[in-house]
Amino acid sequence: MNAQEKNVWLDECKKFSIDPSEIEIIAGRYDAYRSYTQSAKGEVLPIESWFHWYHVERASESRNLGIAPDGCSVDSQSQGNSLIQQSDVFLKLLIACVTHS
């Protein structure tokens, strides 16, 4: 992502109150899935399909574990809720992140 694209992407994250770090963490998970699947000569799901199942899993976990309070720092173990509450917007921003990484 060039600097201008990054600024637009960050503005979109801010507009929807989505922590860009959360998106980058999940983009890293998709990249890891994609790399692993390609190395095993498997067929990689498009990000939209992968995200559908990732979303279902996270929604299930959040019902069982509860959602972390808003405003917490995001790390690899965080349970942010924007993925669940704004999944369409989150996916759009995730696609932009993965496409330009």
Q: Which phi and psi (to 5°) does residue 24 adopt?
A: -65, -35
pTM: predicted TM-score of the whole model, two decimal places: 0.77
**The predicted structure's pLDDT at residue 66:** 52
Distance (Å, whole) CA 91 – CA 36: 21
User: Which token pair is 95?
Assistant: 């696609």
Distance (Å, whole) CA 77 – CA 38: 26
Q: Which residues of the chain have pLDDT under 50?
A: 74-79
Candidates 23, 24, 50; CA nearest to 36 is 50
